[in-house]
């Protein structure tokens, strides 16, 4: 409801102060069931909080994850309705497009590389549906709130040049993130758990206890290697991935 109306809700952690990470993921799964009941389909997964700096800020020692739905995907060059979001931010990522199934708690980096058809540049739009600080409260949004909120996922734009994962050293993929022609952020993919492949390994192992696999054709966002950059109506965003090409989008004023 908060997402559909673009209205914030009270922090879940204030309603349930003893909530655990496992319970936050249980809330997320119920949220996903609602999406599916509305006719949306799962198109992949995302990994967040992959950098050490973001983990320290969130007071957590591992990443988090969420689910990508079909209505979250936008074309490269799209004009995106900013009014659909509350306080949207954009991050630079690599997306893995799978060719084979990945499952179980014994998966390795070699398994991920072998199962991946292509790796491609991506921009993720993140948005928080719960309050940063609720009125009359002092507690900031916690990692439990973010997890319950589907890891703050709101959209994804895939573009640039697709490559086979063995064709280059993914650690050294770099990107410049522009907003309105000004470079706001730069980064290299090694900032994602030393290698973005490690993010996919982590996700497969985290999903294993729930009997969930990464399926052929799914898109998996491996995690951001820049800080989130806030955007507003009228802003244009350009992600330059060097020899892997670029992605552009604009957030409409309407």
Q: Is residue 156 part of a domain?
A: yes
pLDDT of residue 20: 87
% residues pLDDT > 70 (the chain): 85
pLDDT of residue 2: 47
Q: Is residue 148 part of a domain?
A: yes
CA distances from 71 to 50, 68, 94, 123, 133 (A): 24, 9, 19, 15, 28
Which domain range does residue 166 map to? 2-74+90-175+187-227
pLDDT of residue 6: 55
pLDDT of residue 241: 98
pLDDT of residue 51: 66
Structure tokens at 145: 């709130």
> What pairs with residue 186 in β-bridges?
176
Q: Is residue 182 part of a domain?
A: no
Structure tokens at 36: 């599916």
Q: How many domains does the chain have?
A: 1
Q: Is residue 236 part of a domain?
A: no
**Taking the CB of residue 146, how many other CB atoms lie within 10 A of it?**
26
Q: Give the DSSP H or E segment for 27.
A: helix 21-37
The distance in angstroms from the start CA to the end CA of the chain is 22
Q: Is residue 81 part of a domain?
A: no
pLDDT of residue 37: 94
**pTM of the predicted protein model:** 0.89
Q: Is residue 251 part of a domain?
A: no
The DSSP bridge pattern shows strands 219-221 and 153-158 to be unpaired
Taking the chain (254 residues) in runs of 10, the rounded mean pLDDT of each run is: 58 75 89 93 90 59 87 96 91 97 96 98 89 53 79 93 95 97 96 93 92 95 92 97 97 84
Helix (H, G, I), strand (E, B) or coil at 118: strand
d(CA 36, CA 191): 33
Kindly tell me the sign of the dihedral angle through the C-alpha atoms of 59, 63, 67, 73.
positive
Q: Is residue 21 part of a domain?
A: yes
pLDDT of residue 137: 54
- The CATH number of residue 106's host domain is 3.90.850.10
pLDDT digits (tens, 9 = 90+) for 216-246: 999 999 999 998 999 999 999 999 999 999 9
Q: Is residue 203 part of a domain?
A: yes
**Taking the CB of residue 133, how many other CB atoms lie within 10 A of it?**
11
Cα three-residue angle 200-201-205, rounded to 5 degrees = 115
């Amino acid at each position: 409801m908060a997402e559909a109306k673009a209205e914030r809700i009270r922090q879940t952690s204030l309603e349930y102060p003893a909530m655990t990470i496992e319970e936050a993921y249980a809330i997320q799964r119920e949220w996903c069931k609602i999406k599916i009941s509305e006719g949306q389909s799962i198109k992949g997964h995302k990994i967040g909080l992959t950098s050490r700096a973001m983990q320290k800020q969130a007071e957590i020692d591992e990443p988090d994850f969420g689910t990508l739905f079909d209505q979250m995907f936008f074309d490269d060059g799209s004009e995106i309705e900013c009014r659909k979001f509350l306080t949207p931010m954009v991050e630079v990522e690599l997306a893995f497009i799978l060719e084979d199934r990945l499952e179980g708690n014994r998966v390795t980096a070699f398994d991920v590389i072998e199962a991946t058809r292509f790796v491609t540049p991506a921009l993720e739009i993140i948005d928080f549906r719960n309050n940063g600080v609720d009125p009359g409260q002092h507690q900031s949004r916690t990692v439990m709130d973010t997890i319950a909120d589907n890891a703050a996922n709101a959209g994804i734009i895939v573009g640039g040049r697709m490559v086979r994962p063995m064709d280059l050293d993914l650690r050294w993929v770099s990107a410049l993130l522009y907003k309105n022609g000004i470079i706001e952020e730069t980064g290299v993919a090694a900032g994602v758990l030393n290698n973005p492949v490690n993010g996919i390994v982590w996700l497969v192992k985290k999903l294993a206890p729930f009997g969930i696999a990464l399926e052929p054709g799914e898109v998996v966002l491996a995690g951001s290697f820049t800080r989130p950059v806030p955007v507003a109506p009228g802003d244009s965003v350009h992600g330059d991935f060097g020899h892997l090409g670029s992605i552009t989008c604009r957030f409409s004023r309407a």
